[in-house]
Amino acid sequence: MATRDVVVIGASAGGVEPLMRLVGGLPPDLPAAVFVVLHMPPNAPSALAAILGRAGLLPATPAADGAPIQAGRVYVATPNQHLYVHRGHVRVAVGPRENGSRPSVDVLFRSASRAYGPRVVGVVLSGALSDGALGLAAIKLRGGLAVVQDPAEALFGDMPNNALAATTADYCASAAEIAAFIDQVTRQPVETLVSDRMDGETEQQRPPTDDLADSGVVDEKRAGTASGLTCPECHGSIWELRDGDTVRFECRVGHAYGVDAFVAEQGARVEAALWTAINTLEERASTFARLAGVYPAASRLASGYQERAEETTQQAHVLRELLYSLLHAGDVG
């Protein structure tokens, strides 16, 4: 019989310390491969693999495309690339951002659940918003184990809380306790039926919601599910997909969002649009002021342009004050 030999871990804000405690608590003879996604800036080098390698006894390396999967190793996602688990090997590739992130926890979790089904243990640690919640639900639906850091211990409890809301966790505890739990469950046999839906080879071509559609939880995108909204990133039409009380948004090319990530992305776009409007109004005011100086000061044209310059400056000021109030309230940005 197989064992639970694939461990996938996702974290974001406040996630480095619990990752160090978790990986540091794993024994050198762990009979499972460990895969880690931490949200990170896209254009900066990451030292996470080196940090995790020093934190424990397992060798940790940046994930390399095509690398064979070996027990007792930690594979760490690299900046601006999704990490996929396929049968027997790792894939590292670009793809649409999910929940505003690349690498995305959901992408890692879904690919592992498709490739290894009940052999997967999914772990969600500290982080903001909800990346990893639906991915953990997919792992659970295919017979894997769902593990969540205690939100009370997490520096940012959004990801753990959203994961607990999305599925029933098999274990919820501190990062150190999770390490001991993983050591225990990865040594236990588990029945697994090989399915052609678990090959993982088409992950990059499949819509993100197909993992739930495969299990009959949600329908695939089809006519009639359009939300009337547009994708914050590519501005294409976006579908609204429901799983009970859970709502998810996904566009045609694959950008996908939980509710909180969708609202946050919209807020960022609103802030950008308002700054653009303020800049445009101030530039227009400067244009009117410049035109006012072209004509004699006492002329009708000069006074008219000067009046329009003052009015436009005031409009820009009002819009700036509105934006500041929205930022202060946390409604945009």
Output DSSP code: residue 68. Answer: B
Is 237 considered catalytic here?
Answer: no
Backbone dihedral region for residue 235 (phi beyond 0: left; psi -120 to 50: alpha; all else: beta):
left
Which residue among 5, 82, 106, 131 is the active-site one? 131
248 three-class SS: strand
Is 29 considered catalytic here?
Answer: no
- Rounded-to-integer distance, Cα 89 and Cα 6, Å: 12
235 by Cβ neighbours in 10 Å (0-12 / 13-18 / 19+) ranks as exposed
Which residue among 5, 39, 111, 211 is the active-site one? 39
Is 82 considered catalytic here?
Answer: no
Which residue among 12, 101, 104, 113 is the active-site one? 12
- Residue 150 CA: distances (Å) to CA of 64, 125, 139, 141, 178: 31, 8, 19, 22, 10
Contact 239, 253 (CB under 8 A): no
- Rounded-to-integer distance, Cα 24 and Cα 1, Å: 28
> Which residues participate in catalysis according to the annotation?
12, 39, 131
